[in-house]
Structure 1
Amino acid sequence: MSATHSQPTRQAPSTDQAKAPNRVRAIMGACSGNLVEWYDFFIYAYTAIYFAASFFPKGDTTSQLLATAGVFAVGFFMRPLGGWIFGWIADTRGRKVSMIISVFMMCAGSLLIAIMPTYETIGVAAPVMLVIARLIQGLSVGAEYGTGATYISEIATPGRRCFYGSFQYFTIIAGQLLALMTVVILQQTLTSEELRDWGWRIPFFIGALSSIVVVYLRRAMHETASQKDMKRKDAGSLRGMFKHKRAVALVVAFTIGGSLYFYTFTTYMQKFLVISAGFSPETVSFIMTAALVGFMFCQPLFGLLADRVGIKAHMLMFSGLALLLVIPLLYALQTVSSPFTAFLLVFGGLAIASLYTPIAGIVKAELFPPAVRALGVGFPYAVGNAAFGGTAEYVALSLRAQGVEEYFFFYVAAVVTITFIAAMLMPNLSRYGYISGSGEVEERTGLKCYAKTQAARI
């Protein structure tokens, strides 16, 4: 029996769900958790310079920072496991349950770091506990994306899904900026010695306390998964997910290009502007903060645009423009001398990313039926994100060390080409998606279907 007939073909929200008066509050609950989780995840990176010496043996600062960076990476690569475990929970126990547990886990990780004894006090147990805390947080972040994207796509008003979905990346960026602002405020109010002694713990306490507010908001959220779907034989299982092979392939293809491009113009760009363009770290911080603020406010605007022109058109515009312009943009940034010009170039790159980020979760949710939707969105995304987004900086710096930095520009373009091909092969989700259409994703994805569509247009 085909996957299409073994699963319901599309989401069938109840009348109560479709008319839920608490829809806005529910989306706020989903997005506020996203903000707090990303604040907690990135505050580690921003405060590492202050607490590195507290958790690792005495030695040179570089080795201590490398150790903390390694622990940060451990958290990053726990995301696929989090996407798998919490995708199963969301598909078999409910989206609401999964999101509440994920916030509790992030709270636990932050609180553990905040109260953790130092290496001087408990020896090697200190770095071990730090790794455990980051493992917990990595699982939590891996859980948040897939379940959050699934929930927003199911609770959002038809015709406004991309607009509501845009707030997922809006809050991801806001969480990063909030973490950065928290550190800046502490730097202005405490001395360097106070920050190294105890001040670095404050942001982690803030993150843990903020999670309590998110739990309160999420307790009032409307559950979107039906009992019928949660009790299906293949609900939340990898076996059930892989019945939708083409959908899984599309998620991976969209993720590797979207994530690599996103991390190139966000996290790696901060180092690229220093080591390649020659700007001071302070100038780069100003450029990137301004660009990220602009990028954040682009999310709802481009989400509204996507609701008008369609998800497929948006994916084609993103991947097509990224393919054509990423190499010229990176070459220009490599030699730019004006901070204002650098800002315009970075913001231009992020504006292209804004064609992808508001619909990133919605496009993936449309590809799967309810019984495996959270797993189908979260797990392939986490794998692709870890493999290409998480390694973006490593690949770029490795190529630079070999004297062929420009190869990275072509590497990004090559990966985005895969995303462009996938966007061409993807069916029109407003007609064939599982939420908005007939649920014929598997039948309508592929070269033959693309050729038929083009022939019909002619």
Structure 2
Amino acid sequence: MQKSTHKIRSIMAASSGNLVEWFDFYIYAFTATYFAHTFSTSDNPTIQQINAFGVFAAGFFMRPIGSWIFGSLADKMGRKKSMIISVVLMALGSFMIAALPSKNIVGNLAIILLLIARLIQGLSVGGEYGIAATYLSELAVEGKRGFYSSFQYVTLIGGQLLAVMSISIMFLFFSIDDMKEYAWRILFIIGGILALGSFFARRMINESATKLHQNEDRGTLKALCKSWKPFLIVLAITSGGSLTFYTITTYTKTFIENAGMDKILVNNLFLGALFILMIIQPIFGYLGDKIGHKNSLIIFCILALVGIYPIFALITKNAQNSSYLVFILVVLLFIILSFYTSVAGIFKAKLFPEHIRALGTGLGYAISNAVFGGSAPWIALQFKNAGMENGFFIYITIFIIIMLIATLCLPKKSELK
């Protein structure tokens, strides 16, 4: 009983820190439309958004470096210490963004300073994913690993939900003009404070039971090279999965706003939809344990191929006249996504031995996210700006097909012990 209590406490502490880090990270994505003009010298709203989301994408390019640094640290010295350091970096990045001067004060330097702060946050989140996925998978028992690991995305999505909820609360006290002028900074201050709070929560974590000290080459790229086949599989699957994840959970909000729906209404709509997405993760994780994690990924690929474009087309058609239907359509996108997110962490962790598990899981995820995940809103807006918005969905389809092929190559044998 006591052992079970410690395990639950460790999972909750690790997950709460994960939630705070992702809240800090997503506050940027969901407030970019309000502060884009603060840092971009262009008068074109679309160009302003492209610049802001370009910085959002740039933060993802620090993820491979963060996953390498923190993944190696986690495999060499333990998961706990690495998670503590990563959340401190996130707090630093959030406080920096809150205090940044605008273009009216420092000109083009404003966007450069914003970029630096985002790179720090990208470094932090780059380390976060692999360590959290590894830690949760190692605490779980056979037959329940999908269920346990799904809590990583419960808290990841919870971070998004908290970000959207915070914006909704802000609108109770501030107007849209206030948000554009200064109020958006308050959210980054709150994020920094919460990140510091999670520092203390993570100090209570129990280290997962591993035998890392038995491998002298633990946490090294040399050791990871011996597992190059599963690493390539992780890259391919995560490329399609991350592209779809950020398209559905991040760009869809901007897409609906650009289709003509009121921004406050869109924010409230996403608040409800993200709550549903969060609470169904353990359900789909449990389902993944029953039908097989590989089968769950295959179902996701098939549903994404046949469903994403028609759903987005229906959103465009109904954005200005039926908010209820748009809400249902967003939830449908989230249901499709859940076949991936609920098992995303565990399928990666299962492919690597424990002495390179955090490094392999995190680095494979981070590289794919850097190239295809964080760039999704920016690429979508580029297609829109060029008058070829539907071309973005062809882009998604190509990578889903690649993901499906890689999923079919997943081995039956698991490395996870």
**Per-residue displacement from partner, 1:41-95 (whole Å, max 9, x unpaired)?**
12234444565666677x7484766554443332222112111111111111111
Q: Corresponding residue for 1:247?
A: 230
Which amino acid letter does the alignment assign opposite residue 285 of structure 2? G
Q: Which residue of 2 aligns with 1:7?
A: none
- Per-residue deviation, residues 113-137 of structure 1 (Å, max 9, x unmatched): 3345666777776655433322211
Identity score, percent: 45
Aligned residues: 414
Say if 2:277 and 2:335, in contact at 8 Å, map to a contact too: yes
Distance change in 2, residues 1:22/1:326 (3 Å): same
Q: Is 1:184 the counterpart of 2:168 in the alignment?
A: yes
Mapped pair 1:112 → 2:96: yes
**In 2, distance between residues paired with 1:139 and 1:378?**
12
> What is the Cα deviation at residue 284 of structure 1?
3.3
Selected match of 2:272 from 281, 284, 290: 290
CA distance in 2, matches of 1:333, 1:387: 27
Please tell me whether the aligned partners of residues 53 and 61 of structure 1 are also in contact (alpha carbons under 8 angstroms). Answer: no
Deviation at 1:262, TM superposition (A): 1.6
For residues 155-193 of structure 1, give each alpha carbon's deviation from its aligned partner in whole angstroms, at most 9, with x where no partner exists.
123322211211111111211121222223223224567
Greater alpha carbon shift after TM alignment, 233-242 vs 67-76:
67-76
* Residues 341/187 of structure 1: CA separation in 2 closer, same or farther (3 Å cut): closer
C-alpha separation in 2, matches of 1:325 and 1:193: 37
Q: Contact (CA 8 Å) 1:91, 1:225: kept in 2 or not?
A: no
* Separation in 2, partners of 1:401, 1:191: 28
State the shift of 1:27 in Å.
0.8
40-49 or 295-304, larger mean C-alpha shift: 40-49
Q: Secondary structure at the residue paired with 1:220?
A: coil
Residue in 2 that maps onto 1:423 = 407
* 1:262 and 2:256 are equivalent in the alignment: no
Please show how residues 370-385 of structure 1 align to structure 2 within 5 Å: 370-385=354-369
Partners of 2:101 and 2:198 in 1: how far apart?
27
In 2, Cα distance between equivalents of 1:411 and 1:122: 37
| TM-score, length-scaled by structure 2 | 0.89
SS in 2 for 1:379: helix
Shift of 1:223: 1.4
1:278 to 1:64, Cα distance in 2 relative to 1, 3 A: closer
Secondary structure of the equivalent of 2:339? coil
- Cα 1:65–1:420 change in 2 (3 A) is closer
The offset of 1:278, in angstroms, is 4.5
| Greater Cα shift, 115-124 or 253-262 | 115-124
Q: Greater shift after overlay, 243-252 or 264-273? A: 264-273
Contact 1:91/1:230 (<8 A) preserved: no
Tell me if the contact between 2:75 and 2:219 (Cα under 8 Å) persists in the aligned partners: yes
Is the Cα contact below 8 Å between 1:95 and 1:225 reproduced in 2?
Answer: no
What's the counterpart of residue 31 of structure 1? 15
Verify: 1:435 aligned to 2:416, yes or no.
yes
Which residue in the other structure is 1:221 paired with? 205
Partner in structure 2 of residue 328 of structure 1: 310
- Helix, strand or coil for the counterpart of 1:256? helix
> Which digits, 9 at most, give the CA deviation of each residue in 1:283-333, with x for residues without a partner?
433433332222112111111111222212212221222223334334444
How large is the Cα RMSD of the aligned pairs?
A: 2.9
**Structure with bigger gyration radius:** 1
Between the aligned partners of 1:203 and 1:282, the Cα distance in structure 2 is 16
Q: Structure 2 matches for 1:145-164, cutoff 5 A?
A: 145-164=129-148
Q: Secondary structure at the match of 2:280?
A: helix
Indicate the larger mover: 329-338 or 143-152: 329-338
The offset of 1:364, in angstroms, is: 0.2
Instruction: State the Cα distance separating 1:351 from its structure 2 match.
Output: 0.5
In the alignment, the residues of structure 2 paired with residue 405 and residue 66 of structure 1 have an alpha-carbon distance, to the nearest angstrom, of 14
1:3-402 equivalences under 5 Å are 19=3, 21-48=5-32, 60=43, 62=45, 67-116=51-100, 127-190=111-174, 199-224=183-208, 226=210, 228-230=211-213, 232-275=215-258, 278-336=260-318, 338-402=322-386
TM-score, normalised to structure 1, is 0.81
Q: Residues 313 and 197 from structure 1, CA distance in 2 versus in 1: closer, same or farther, beyond 3 angstroms? A: closer
Distance 1:284 1:64, change over 3 A: closer
Change (3 A) 1:426 1:235: same
- The structure-2 alpha-carbon separation of the partners of 1:234 and 1:109, relative to structure 1 and needing over 3 Å to count, comes to same
Equivalent-residue separation in structure 1 for 2:94 and 2:64 (angstroms): 20
Q: Which amino acid is 2:22 matched to?
A: W
CA contact (8 A) 1:50 1:200 kept: yes
Rounded to whole Å, the distance in 1 between the matches of 2:401 and 2:39 is 43
Task: Give the distance between the partners of 1:186 and 1:385, measured in 2 at CA.
Answer: 30
Q: CA deviation at 1:143?
A: 0.8
Alignment gaps of 5+ in structure 2: none
Paired residues of 1:318 and 1:355 also in contact (CA < 8 A): yes
User: Relative CO higher for 1 or 2, CA cutoff 8 Å, sep ≥ 6?
Assistant: 2
The one-letter code matched in structure 1 to 2:243 is: L
- 1:389 and 1:242, CA in 2 relative to 1: closer, same or farther beyond 3 A? same
1:265 counterpart SS class? helix
Q: How far apart in 2 are the matches of 1:318 and 1:364?
A: 16
Conserved 8 A contact 1:25-1:217: no
Give the whole-Å Cα distance in 2 for the aligned partners of 1:229 and 1:421.
Answer: 33
AA partner of residue 379 (structure 2): V
Distance 2:292 2:335 in 1: 18
Deviations 1:349-386 (A, max 9, x none): 21111111011001000000011111100111111122
